[in-house]
Structure 1
Amino acid sequence: MIDVFLLLGTNLGDRHLFLQEAIRLITQQIAPVVKSSSVYETQSWGKTDEPDYLNQVIVLQTILPPAEVLTRILNIEQQMGRKRMVKWGARTIDIDILFYGNEVINNPNLIIPHPQLQNRRFTLEPLAEIAPYLIHPVLNKNILALKSSLKDSLIVKKL
């Protein structure tokens, strides 16, 4: 079994309900959630005129290969009404693979670890809550060290 860390984000509609529904579908279609962070409210990143997000990091344990996890995640996003119209645009749900064990994957359709996670407070806050000493396999730093060197000043607050 491989630990897979996912970041969930939503900034449209009933955000709490969308997080719960994403977790239900992930459990049903990929693997049960073994650990989850608190929910955090975050200012919009990248496209700052969007509504605030709710973000949460969850951990699964699976034997599915990374490409299959990605395929299932994309299907869940589509099931939940995700429309990819504008980069960093508002969305009912966004599910990112942060880590797949300690694997490093650099394919056109899949990059793991997530290439921006070390730059985003909305990712590192919930990740540090549940896996502070997890080592980033490319940067060779733990999550707390990445968080402490963060330059992102967006407001991220635990709900």
Structure 2
Amino acid sequence: MTRAFLSLGSNLGDRRQFLQEAVGSLGSSVTAVSPVYETDPVGGPEQGRFLNLVVQLETDLAPRELLAVCHRLESAAQRVRTQHWGPRTLDVDIIWIDGTTVDDPDLTIPHPRWSERTFVLAPLADLAPELVDPDVYARAQGQVHQVEPLVGWEPTEP
């Protein structure tokens, strides 16, 4: 089993519900969930604020299999890809997989912009502070503030 981190964000519809359902559908592979942060969008068109969190998993999935899980979660939330970096019901990105690097046109691990975005670094630092360099965090883009945690999530006993 390998430790992996996914970043989840939503800025359309019932943002909290989309996050709750996505985390719930990941099942027993989830070992930790960060607090929820409300964040301004970074890059892209004018749009509403996001709710973001990071999920820690223990998984034996290969990177492409984990990417397929991310796409399944987005589809379940009826995500429509009409505008690059536009508003979305759910965005799920693989941020980090311990000991793994991938550099393909459609998949890069670690995520290519993870260290530039406060909406990823703040919740990641809550779960894995050893991965977040304080100097990098200080230079990251975007403002975040912590809001109510995701209700009803508890780690499953092995």
Distance 2:38 2:49 in 1: 7
Structure 1 unaligned residues grouped into runs of 5+: 135-141
Find the residue that maps to 1:87 and give its secondary structure.
Answer: coil
1:21 matched residue in structure 2: 21
1:61-81 per-position Cα deviation (integer Å, ceiling 9, x unaligned): 011111101012112211210
What residue ranges of structure 2 are gaps of 5+ in the alignment? 148-158
Q: Does 1:64 align with 2:54?
A: no
Question: What is the Cα deviation at residue 24 of structure 1?
Answer: 1.3
Match of 1:91 in 2: 88
TM-superposed CA distance for 1:106, in Å, is: 0.3
How far did 1:37 drift? 0.7
The TM-score with structure 2 as length reference comes to 0.88
CA RMSD of aligned residues (A): 1.3
The answer (yes or no) to whether the contact 2:19–2:90 under 8 Å persists in 1 is yes
Say which of 75, 89, 113 aligns to 1:78: 75
Distance, in Å, in 1 between the alignment partners of 2:99 and 2:135 is: 17
Residues 61-120 of structure 1, C-alpha deviations (whole Å, 9 max, x = no match): 011111101012112211210111101111110000000112111012210000001111
Report Cα offsets for 1:12-50 as digits up to 9, x if no partner.
1111111100101222xxx52101110000011112510
Name the structure 1 match of 2:146. 158
Contact kept in structure 2, 1:132 and 1:144, CA below 8 Å: no
Aligned pairs for 1:35-50 (under 5 A) are 35-50=32-47
| Bigger relative contact order (CA 8 A; separation at least 6) | 2
AA at the equivalent of 1:111: T
Alignment length (residue pairs)? 147
**Partners of 1:133 and 1:144 within 8 A in 2:** no
Residue aligning to 1:5: 5
Q: Distance in 1 between matches of 2:99 and 2:36?
A: 25
Task: Indicate whether 1:34 and 2:31 are aligned.
Answer: yes
